[in-house]
Amino acid sequence: LLNEKEFHMSKTLLELADHLGGQIIGDPDVTIYGLGTLDNATEGQITFLANPKYTQKVGTTKASAVILPPGVDSFGHNAVVVANPYLAFAKLLTLFTSKPRVVKGIMDGAFVSIEAIVGKDASIYPGVCIADGVRMGDRVTIYPHVTIYEGVVLGDDVTLHAGVSVREGCKIGDRVTIHNGSIIGADGFGYVPDGQAWFKIPQIGIVVIEDDVEIGASTTIDRAALEVTRIGRGTKIDNLVQVGHNCTIGENCVIVAQAGIAGSSQLGKHVTLGGQVAITDHISIGDNAMIAGQSGVFGSVAPGEVLSGTPAIPHKTRLKAAAVFSHLPEMRRSIARMGNRLTKVEEGGTPPQVI
Amino acid sequence: LLNEKEFHMSKTLLELADHLGGQIIGDPDVTIYGLGTLDNATEGQITFLANPKYTQKVGTTKASAVILPPGVDSFGHNAVVVANPYLAFAKLLTLFTSKPRVVKGIMDGAFVSIEAIVGKDASIYPGVCIADGVRMGDRVTIYPHVTIYEGVVLGDDVTLHAGVSVREGCKIGDRVTIHNGSIIGADGFGYVPDGQAWFKIPQIGIVVIEDDVEIGASTTIDRAALEVTRIGRGTKIDNLVQVGHNCTIGENCVIVAQAGIAGSSQLGKHVTLGGQVAITDHISIGDNAMIAGQSGVFGSVAPGEVLSGTPAIPHKTRLKAAAVFSHLPEMRRSIARMGNRLTKVEEGGTPPQVI
Amino acid sequence: LLNEKEFHMSKTLLELADHLGGQIIGDPDVTIYGLGTLDNATEGQITFLANPKYTQKVGTTKASAVILPPGVDSFGHNAVVVANPYLAFAKLLTLFTSKPRVVKGIMDGAFVSIEAIVGKDASIYPGVCIADGVRMGDRVTIYPHVTIYEGVVLGDDVTLHAGVSVREGCKIGDRVTIHNGSIIGADGFGYVPDGQAWFKIPQIGIVVIEDDVEIGASTTIDRAALEVTRIGRGTKIDNLVQVGHNCTIGENCVIVAQAGIAGSSQLGKHVTLGGQVAITDHISIGDNAMIAGQSGVFGSVAPGEVLSGTPAIPHKTRLKAAAVFSHLPEMRRSIARMGNRLTKVEEGGTPPQVI
C-alpha cells in the first residue's frame, strides 16, 4: 500500500543522505519520489534494511536506493549507510509525508476570552472554548470542541485534537500533541471517610506536561491534590491510560494503552509500561524498568528490572512458573499419592527385603 | 417495568407472526399493544418462553399471546411458534419501541464545510464540525460536538453520537452507529528509539469500519501506520475498548468493554473477547475463538479455542488449575515434609521390620 | 507547595473550631490564614496530626495551631481537638480554597431548547446543547460541549464538566459532579445471535444517578435494556470506569479507575473496588466488601469479604499462595525426584539396614 501513497515531493539521494547524516554509495544525483518496503518498492523509491536476515532481499529489490547499516553489501544498488536504518526510514517517511501547517487563525465559532493571550500563527477551530487568563505560545493548533479552562498555559507548537479538555491552571510545554478526547487535570480521586459517607479532599494542584510529550486518545491525567502531577519531557502515552493525582512520570517513558498508575507513584526515566499494566499508589519504578502487559505492580521496582504478572515478579521467573501452572492439579494428586505410598513404606508396607 | 412502558402502537397477532415468520396457534386477530415477561405481562401484551425450564409459567401467564419454540404446549394460549423465541422477542421489542427518525437537516450552529458532500435527509446538530472533502451518504444523524476531519467518508444511515471524532481520511460503512466520545483514527502508537528519546513514526494509514458495525462509548480505534486498521462487517464493540494500529477485526466479532488489542493483530470471524481482555501485538485469533474476561493472550489462537487466564490457556484446564492455586502453600509444606520423611526412610529411620 | 498557595481568607481559631465542632486548647483569637503540613507550616497556618507516630513533630512545628485527636499533648501550641483530624483538615482545606460560584447565566453560543426548563442561577457555557424536554434544578453549572439529550432531568447544584454526554431520559440527582468526557446512558451492550450475525436488543431503560455522587473523567455508565442502571447516593467513581446495563451500585461505594462492572450485577453499600477490577455479570457484591486492584470476580461475594486475584479469593489466602507461585518449577522437580526416590525405596533400593 505504501506504493499507492502519493508523496508530493522529490529529493536527490544527496539531499536525503544530508538529512540523515549518512554516507552515499553510488549515484548521489538519483531522484527519489517516495518510500517502499524491500519487497514492494518500485523505481524512484528508497527502501531500507533493518533486519540482517533479509539482506538477500537487497539484491532483488526494485528500489532506486537502499538505506543500509554499515558493512552490508549494497548489491550494486545506490545506498545511504546509517547506524540505524529503521530510524532513518522513519525520518524519511516524515520528510515525505509531512504537510505544511496551514495557519487558520481564530475561526468563526471559536470562543476565545478577551483575557486570553494567543500567540502568533494560531489555528483555532470552531467550537473551541478558551477561558480567561489562558496563555498560549506560537503556532498552536486547537481542533474543534477543545475546552481550555482558566489560567492554563500552553507552549509553542502545541496541538490539541478535538474534544480535549485542559482543566484549571495546568501547564503544557512546547511541541506537545494530545489526541482526541483526552482529559488533562480533572480532579484526583481523594476522599476522607466521614462515617459511611465520603468527604471530598479539594484537588487544588495542577498537571504539568513537559516538552515533546505525546498523549493518545481518551487518556486521563488527574490534577494533584496539592502540588503537581508531572509528565516528563519526551514521554509517550497511548490511549485510555489513567495517571492518578500527584504522580511523577520521568523523561522518555513509554506507557501503552489502558495502563493505570495510582496516586503519588513515581516513574524514573525511560520506563516502559505494557498495555493494561496497573501500578499501585505511592511506589517508585526505577529508570529503564520494563513492566510486561497486564502486570500488576504492588511494590517499588529497582532500575532496569523486567517484571511481569500480578503481583509482578521477574519476567523470566514468571514465565517458568506460568508454564507449570496448568500442571497444578496433577501435582496435587502426585503429592497425595506419594504421601500414601510413603505412609505405607513407613508402616512397613514395602516388600520384605532379603538380607 | 416493561409494563410501565408505553408502547404507542398496536398490531394483530397475524401481523406479528408475519413479521417474525412464525406459525400462529389460536386467534390471529387478537390485538397486541406491547410486551411483557412471563411473570408480569398483562392482557394485551405478548410474552415469550426462551428457557424450557419455565414452560409451566406459560400456563399461568396473563399475556394475550406467547412466543414459543416448536413442540411446546401453549396451554390454550394464543401463540406464535418460531425457532428462536428470544430473537423473536428482541425483534418485537424493536418493532414496538423504535421511533420514526426525524429529519432535522443541518441545524443552526453546525459547521459544515462547503467542500463537504451531505447526502439526503441528514440530521446534523449544533456544534458539529465537518471538514473539507468529507462525503456522507443519506440519512446520517450527527449529534452535537462530533468532529469529522478532512476526507472522511460516511455511508448511508450512519449515526454518530455526541463527542465522536473521526480523523483524517477514515471510511465508515452503511448502518454504522458509534456511541458518545469514541475516537476513530487517532494516531497509532509507533516510535523508534533515537538514543534515550523516541522518534515518531508517521501514522499515515486509515481506519475502515465496515457495514453494520456498532461501537460503544469512549472506545479508541487507531489509524494504521501505513495501510488500514479494519473493523469487519457486523462486529459489535463495547465501551472503552482499544484497537491498535493495523489490526484487522473479522466479521461479527463481539468485543466486550475495556478489552485491548495491540497493533497488527488479527481476529477472525465471530471471535468473542470478554471484558478487559488483552491481545498482544502481531498475533492471530482464529474464527469462533472465545477469550474469557480479563485474560491475556500472548500467542496466536486456533479457531474455536476457548481460553482464559494470563497467559491464556484452555479455559477448562485453567479452571482446574485455579481451583488448586490457593492450596499452594500447603502443597509446598507437604513436599518439604515428605522430603524429610523420605530421607528418614532412606536412612533407615523406618521402624524396624519384623521379618 | 501548600505554603506557596494563596488562601484569600482569614479565620480565628474559634471560627475554625466552630466549623469543625472541635474543642480549643489555647488562644481562640489567633488568626489563621491557611494550612500547612507539620513539617512545612509557617506562622499563621494551621496543621494537623493524623498519624500518632508523628506526635513528636507537634513539638517542633511552626504552625500557629494544630488539629489534634483527643488525648494528645499540644506541646504548648494552640490546638483544636477533634475525633478525626484528617477529616477536619480536609474540611478546612475546603473552607480556605473554595471559591464563590459565579452565576454566568446562559452564555452566548449555548444551544438550549425552548422546551427545556432551566432553574435559577445556572451557568451554561458556550457550545452546550440541551434538547427538548430537559428539566434542570437550580444552580447547575454546565461547561462547554456538554450534550444533554431529550427528557433528561438534572437536580440542584449539578456540575457537568466539558464534553460530558447525558443520553435520553436519564435522571441525575442533587449535588452530582461529573468530570470531563464521561458518558451517561449510552446503549447497553446487548445482542441476540441471529445465525452468524448479531441482532440488537433495544436498550430502552435509563440511568439514575442519585444525590451526592461524583464521577470522574471518561467513565461510561450504560443505560438499562429495560428498567434502570442505578448509582447509589454518595458513591464516588473514578476515571475510565465501565458500568454495564442494569447494574445497581449501592450507596457510598468507591470504584477506582479502570474498573469494570458487567451487566446486571449489584453492589451493596460501601463496597470498594480497586483499580482495573472486573466484576462479571449477574452477581452480587455484599455491603462493605473490598476487592483489591486488578482482581477478577466471577461469583457473588458475601458482605465484608476482602478478595483479590483472578479468580478472586480471600486476600490473605491469595497473598500466601502468590508467594509460593514462583517456586512452582522447583516444586514440580521436587515431586518428580521424590517419586523416583520413593520408587527406589519401595523396590528395596534403600541401603540395607543393620538389625
B67-124 pLDDT per residue, tens:
999 999 999 999 999 999 999 999 999 999 888 899 999 999 999 999 999 999 999 9
Query: Predicted confidence band at B336 (pLDDT cuts at 50, 70, 90)?
Result: very high
Q: Assess A338–B contact: CB distance below 8 Å, yes or no.
A: yes
Query: Would you put residue C316 in left (φ > 0), alpha (ψ -120 to 50) or beta?
Result: alpha
Which member of B196, B202, B278 has the closest CB to residue A270?
A: B196
Q: Which helix (H) or strand (E) holds B341?
A: helix B328-346
Total count of residues recorded for chain B:
355
Q: Please, which residues have CB within 8 angstroms of residue B87's CB and are 6 or more apart in sequence?
A: C192, C193, C194, C199
Higher-pLDDT residue of C8, C69: C69
Beta strand C23-25 with C79-81 is antiparallel
B175-219 pLDDT per residue, tens:
999 999 999 999 999 999 999 999 999 999 999 999 999 999 999
Q: Assess C3–B contact: CB distance below 8 Å, yes or no.
A: no
Q: Assess C355–B contact: CB distance below 8 Å, yes or no.
A: yes
Q: Which triple of cell numbers denotes residue B279?
A: 491481545
Measured between its terminal Cα atoms, the distance across chain C in Å is 82
Contact at CB, B260 and A240, closer than 8 angstroms: yes
Q: Which triple of cell numbers denotes residue C336?
A: 518428580
Q: Can you tell me which residue has the cell 452566548?
A: C108
Query: Predicted confidence band at B37 (pLDDT cuts at 50, 70, 90)?
Result: confident
Measured between its terminal Cα atoms, the distance across chain A in Å is 83
Chains within contact range of chain C (3+ C-beta pairs < 8 Å): A, B
Q: Which triple of cell numbers denotes residue A206?
A: 495542577
In contact, A101 and A120? CB cutoff 8 Å? no
Contact at CB, B201 and A326, closer than 8 angstroms: no
Taking the C-alpha atoms of residue C213 and residue C157, their distance in angstroms, rounded to an integer, is 12
Contact at CB, B181 and A218, closer than 8 angstroms: yes
By CA distance, what is C340's nearest residue in A? A338
Q: Assess A2–B contact: CB distance below 8 Å, yes or no.
A: yes
- Answer whether residue B1 shows pLDDT above 70: no
Taking the C-alpha atoms of residue C144 and residue C135, their distance in angstroms, rounded to an integer, is 18
Q: Assess C270–A contact: CB distance below 8 Å, yes or no.
A: yes
* Amino acid at site A87: L
How does pLDDT run along chain A (355 residues), one tens digit per residue?
444 455 668 999 999 999 999 999 999 999 999 998 899 899 999 999 988 889 999 999 999 999 999 999 999 999 999 999 999 999 999 999 988 899 999 999 999 999 999 999 999 999 999 999 999 999 999 999 999 999 999 999 999 999 999 999 999 999 999 999 999 999 999 999 999 999 999 999 999 999 999 999 999 999 999 899 999 999 999 999 999 999 999 999 999 999 999 999 999 999 999 999 999 999 999 999 999 999 999 999 999 999 999 999 999 999 999 999 999 999 999 999 998 998 988 887 555 444 4
The pLDDT score that the predictor gives to residue C1 is: 40
In contact, B266 and B251? CB cutoff 8 Å? no
Q: Assess A62–B contact: CB distance below 8 Å, yes or no.
A: no
Radius of gyration of chain C (CA): 28
Q: Assess C278–B contact: CB distance below 8 Å, yes or no.
A: yes
Query: Predicted confidence band at C317 (pLDDT cuts at 50, 70, 90)?
Result: very high
B138-169 pLDDT per residue, tens:
999 999 999 999 999 999 999 999 999 999 99
Q: Give the residue among C184, C183, C119 at the shortest CA–CA distance from C156.
A: C119
Which member of B202, B227, B310 has the closest CB to residue A94?
A: B202
Active site residues of A: 245
Contact at CB, A180 and B198, closer than 8 angstroms: no
The pLDDT score that the predictor gives to residue A37 is: 87
| Complex-level ipTM | 0.93
- φ, ψ for residue C155, nearest 5 deg: -80, -165
Which of B 137-156 lie inside 8 A of A, CB atoms?
Answer: 145, 147, 149
Supply the angle between the helices A328-346 and A315-325 in degrees, to the nearest 10: 70
C56-80 pLDDT per residue, tens:
999 999 999 999 999 999 999 999 9
Partners of residue C220 in chain B, C-beta under 8 Å? 181, 216-218, 239-240, 257
Q: Which helix (H) or strand (E) holds C112?
A: strand C111-112
Partners of residue C288 in chain A, C-beta under 8 Å? none
By CA distance, what is B202's nearest residue in A? A94
Range C120-147 average pLDDT: 98
Query: Predicted confidence band at C55 (pLDDT cuts at 50, 70, 90)?
Result: very high
Q: Which triple of cell numbers denotes residue B324?
A: 488448586
Which member of C236, C294, C329 has the closest CB to residue A310?
A: C294
Catalytic, B245? Answer: yes
Which member of A183, A197, A310 has the closest CB to residue C234?
A: A197
Partners of residue C179 in chain A, C-beta under 8 Å? 183, 186-187
Q: Please, which residues have CB within 8 angstroms of residue B90's CB and are 6 or more apart in sequence?
A: C192, C199, C200, C201, C202
Contact at CB, A257 and B258, closer than 8 angstroms: no
Q: How many CB pairs lie under 8 A apart between chains A and C?
A: 199
Q: Give exposure, C187-217, as e/b (b: 16+ Cβ within 10 Å).
A: bbbbbbeeeeebbbbbbbbbbbbbbbbbbbb
Which of A 282-321 lie inside 8 A of C, CB atoms?
Answer: 296, 298, 309-311, 313, 317-318, 320-321
Q: Assess B102–C contact: CB distance below 8 Å, yes or no.
A: no
Range C30-50 average pLDDT: 92
- Answer whether residue C349 shows pLDDT above 80: no
The pLDDT score that the predictor gives to residue A50 is: 87
**C291 burial class (0-12, 13-18, 19+ CB within 10 angstroms)?**
buried
* Amino acid at site C286: G
Q: Give the residue among A220, A206, A203 at the shortest CA–CA distance from A255.
A: A220
Query: Predicted confidence band at B7 (pLDDT cuts at 50, 70, 90)?
Result: low
Query: Predicted confidence band at C200 (pLDDT cuts at 50, 70, 90)?
Result: very high
- Assign A114 to helix, strand or coil: coil
Contact at CB, A309 and B310, closer than 8 angstroms: yes
In contact, A178 and A184? CB cutoff 8 Å? yes
Q: Which helix (H) or strand (E) holds A130?
A: strand A129-130
Instruction: Tell me which of B294, B324, B338, B344 to substitute to probe the interface with C (most C C-beta atoms closer than 10 Å).
Output: B294
Contact at CB, A90 and B192, closer than 8 angstroms: yes
The pLDDT score that the predictor gives to residue A354 is: 45
Q: Give exposure, A190-218, as e/b (b: 16+ Cβ within 10 Å).
A: bbbeeeeebbbbbbbbbbbbbbbbbbbbb
Q: Please, which residues have CB within 8 angstroms of residue C336's CB and are 6 or more apart in sequence?
A: none
Q: Which helix (H) or strand (E) holds B171?
A: strand B171-172
- Percent of chain C clearing pLDDT 70 (strictly above): 96
Partners of residue B5 in chain C, C-beta under 8 Å? 204, 226
Contact at CB, C310 and A310, closer than 8 angstroms: yes
Contact at CB, A262 and C256, closer than 8 angstroms: yes
CA separation (Å) from C231 to A202, C146, C249? 22, 20, 5
In contact, B185 and B203? CB cutoff 8 Å? no
Q: Can you tell me which residue has the cell 477551530?
A: A125
Taking the C-alpha atoms of residue C149 and residue B129, their distance in angstroms, rounded to an integer, is 19
Q: Assess B163–C contact: CB distance below 8 Å, yes or no.
A: yes
Which of A 235-254 lie inside 8 A of C, CB atoms?
Answer: 240, 242, 244
In contact, C104 and C84? CB cutoff 8 Å? no
Contact at CB, B257 and C260, closer than 8 angstroms: yes
Which of C 200-219 lie inside 8 A of B, CB atoms?
Answer: 200-202, 204-205, 218
Instruction: Tell me which of C218, C231, C331, C343 to substitute to probe the interface with A (most A C-beta atoms closer than 10 Å).
Output: C218
Quote helix, strand, coil % in chain A, to nearest 5. 20, 25, 55
Q: Please, which residues have CB within 8 angstroms of residue B268's CB and are 6 or more apart in sequence?
A: B250, B284, B285, B286, B287, B288, B289, B303
Q: Assess B54–A contact: CB distance below 8 Å, yes or no.
A: no
The pLDDT score that the predictor gives to residue A158 is: 98
Q: Give me chain B's average pLDDT, please.
A: 94
Q: Can you tell me which residue has the cell 402502537?
A: B9
Query: Would you put residue C95 in left (φ > 0), alpha (ψ -120 to 50) or beta?
Result: alpha
Instruction: Tell me which of B84, B180, B334 to substitute to probe the interface with C (most C C-beta atoms closer than 10 Å).
Output: B180
Q: Assess A326–C contact: CB distance below 8 Å, yes or no.
A: no
In contact, A314 and B309? CB cutoff 8 Å? no
The pLDDT score that the predictor gives to residue C176 is: 98
Which member of A317, A321, A342 has the closest CB to residue C342?
A: A342
- φ, ψ for residue C198, nearest 5 deg: -120, 130
Partners of residue A94 in chain B, C-beta under 8 Å? 200, 202
Count CB-CB contacts under 10 A for residue C42: 15
pTM for the model stands at 0.95
Q: Within 13 A of B219's CA, how many CA atoms are on the CB side?
A: 29
